[in-house]
Every structure is written in structure tokens, then in C-alpha cells.
Amino acid sequence: MSSNEAYEEIELIYSFQQGERKALHQVYALYQRPLCFFTEQLITDTMAAEDIVSECFINAFQKKEDFPSLGQLKSFLFTAAKNSALNYLKAQKRHDDIHHSIERAADRFSIDVENAYIKTEVLQLISLEIEKLPPQCRQVVRLSVVDGKTAPEIAAELHMAYQTVLNQKAKGVALLRTALIKNELLSLPMLVYMLAILQR
């Protein structure tokens, strides 16, 4: 971590404690998707996962002063999501009258939590790589990889010339390549996969 990044992280948690709106939004932007993904892995219900995540942020924002570091805040958010997911599953089980014993389910649940967490971390790494791209390039890459859109569709959606879309895709490929070669970023299979899709 460069000294500017370290400074920004310390300053972020400091402003978070002060309740500055920008800091709240940054924390939210940083963890919203990872928390949704993590929770959804546990309860396999997208809407319910989003509701749980809303509650986690509300709880964290209500005791802003309790988090001396970004790490502790992150840990609180994930633990809160895990606990809510477990409560949700218990309520569901009563409804659905599932036959497993509660104890065995609890064992299974703690393994699921670990698995979901590792998966989430890998996905966040991938999304951080995508967000590092320059704005226009990032938009094209997201539409192409995430939404599976073709170059003409992207051109229409972004009011761009078809050639510009191709250029931006090429730029994305070049940037990701450079990142791979310089080994500055943690490159991931998704990047390789993206290269393949983008070059089609």
C-alpha cells in the first residue's frame, strides 16, 4: 500500500467516525456488492440478501465511533450479515419443516460461511480490477463482460460510434495485459476470460 493509500484509508475511517456523508457513501460503495454476494450465497434469496445488507449498514452507521479501523468495520459488517443469514435460515426451516437436525445444519452453516467468504473475496478482487480501468473503457468492459452485450449494442447504448467501442475494448485489453505483465495487480482468470471475450 502506498503512503497515499494508507493515508486515505486512515482518513476514511476517521471521517466515517465523524459521520461525514462522503465517508459513509465510500464505505457503502466498497462493501455493498461483496456483502450482497456473501449473504446470497448463504440464503439463496436475492431480495432477502439485499434487505439483510441494508440492515447491516444501518447497524454499522448507528455506531460509527466503535470502529477504529476499516478492517474492524469490515469484520463487523460480515459478521452481522452472517448472523442475520443464520436467523433467516432458522425461520425458513420452521416454515419448510426440513428434516435435518439443527446441530448438523449449524455445522454445515459454518463451513458455508467460510466458503462464501473466500468466494466473495475473489470476486471483490475481480471487480476492483474492473473499476481500476479508465471510465469509458470500464463502461465498455462492464457492458461487454458483465451484461454480455455485443459491440453494436454497446455502441447504441452509449451513443458511441461502433469503431469507438472497438477502440475502447482494445484499450481495455491492452491495459489488462499491461497489468498482467507488470504484475502490479493481482490478475485473475476472469481477466484472461475477459481478454478472450473482448477479442472476439
Helix (H, G, I), strand (E, B) or coil at 171: helix
DSSP designation for 69: S
Q: Do residues 76 and 67 touch, judged by C-beta distance below 8 A?
A: yes
DSSP designation for 159: T
59 vs 167: CA distance, rounded Å? 45
State the helix-helix crossing angle for 3-17 and 21-43, rounded to 10 degrees: 90
Which residue of 147, 150, 163, 184 would you call a contact of another protein, by CB under 8 A? Answer: 147
130 grid coordinates: 474492473
- If the CB atoms of residues 125 and 158 are measured against another protein, the closer one turns out to be 125
- If the CB atoms of residues 94 and 178 are measured against another protein, the closer one turns out to be 178
Site for another protein in 170-199 (CB under 8 A): 180, 183, 186-190, 192-193
- If the CB atoms of residues 65 and 97 are measured against another protein, the closer one turns out to be 65
Site for another protein in 50-109 (CB under 8 A): 50-51, 53-54, 57-58, 61-62, 75, 78-79, 82
- If the CB atoms of residues 66 and 147 are measured against another protein, the closer one turns out to be 147
Residue 126 interacts with another protein (CB under 8 A)? yes
